[in-house]
Amino acid sequence: MDSPALVRTPRQVAELLGLSMPALRRHAATLEDVTGQVLPRGEHLERLWPEASVEALRTALACVHRQEFTSVGDALRAQLQPQSPLRS
């Protein structure tokens, strides 16, 4: 029997990643912009965070912290959008 995918509340994600709620909301908007997909909404219209989205944001934040990228948006784009093939 398949278990449902883990989905976290905004407060859980903010605490897990060490972010303020306003910072998490900004990053959520960036993630939605980069992926073109809206995060699912809960009963009170709060964003719900599937584990894959939490991990994508965690990785992007780590890349910015290591100064591999200057913004979370750039880090998300690099990991979530496929690279276009080189043309000759």
Comparing C-alpha atoms, which of 62, 76, 78, 79 is closest to residue 31? 76
At residue 86 the predicted structure's pLDDT band, cuts being 50, 70 and 90, is low
Full set of structural domains in the chain with CATH: 7-80 (1.10.1660)
Percent pLDDT > 90 in the chain is: 83
pTM of the full predicted structure? Answer: 0.86
CB atoms within 10 A of CB 31: 22
Residue 39 has pLDDT above 50, yes or no: yes
